Amino acid sequence: MKYQNKSINLNSVHKMVFVSILLAFALVLSYVENSFFVLPIPGVKLGLANLIILASLYFLNFKEVMLLVILRVTINSFFGSFFTFWYSLSGGILSFLVMFLLIRVCKNKISTIGVSVVGAVFHNIGQLIVVMIVTENINVAATYFPILAISGIVTGVLIGLTVNYLLPYIKKIID
């Protein structure tokens, strides 16, 4: 199925409600992940909320998905630290921009799984950029990148597979 460049045609109120529902789902998934799926390696997460962001890229426009990313990170940061906000924001925005470009430029040449894997790895890169700025130490990022890259590939595949499965159902809801 093809979903690229298919922005949903809803009036502004319906679209605002749809985006709000997506934000609520992303926040619930973040809460569930933070409560039940704590992994032993610091910084490694499943990225369940990215299910919503990735799926949104196939149905919403640039500004709407960017708003979704920023709101999700901002609201989640109320339960974290100042640095958590910056790590999440940098990773989320960089990941979003790369995935958006991949979907728009590569169109049917890259799968949802491929977009998800690249997005997950770039999310980690965005976070490592902040780590390097905060610690003023490039070695921390260089040492930690292989671990985050491997986890990004694994979680990216899982998220991509799930979104690929969900896209037809989302399309039915909005059509």
For 25, 85, 166, the CA distances from 127, given in Å and listed in that order, are 23, 10, 28
Q: How far, in Å, CA of 128 to CA of 115, rounded?
A: 20
Full pLDDT tens readout for the chain, 175 residues: 445 445 555 577 888 888 999 999 999 998 888 777 666 776 677 889 999 999 999 989 999 999 999 999 999 888 777 778 888 899 999 999 999 999 999 978 999 999 999 999 999 999 999 888 888 888 887 888 898 899 999 999 999 999 999 999 988 887 7
pTM of the entire structure?
A: 0.86
Contacts of 151 (CB under 8 A, 6+ apart): 41, 44, 124
How high is the pLDDT of residue 123? Answer: 94
Domains and CATH numbers, the chain: 12-174 (1.10.1760.20)
Among 58, 78, 57, 82, which residue's Cα sits nearest to residue 67? 57
Hey, what are 38's tokens? Answer: 């704590």
How high is the pLDDT of residue 9? Answer: 57
How high is the pLDDT of residue 78? Answer: 85
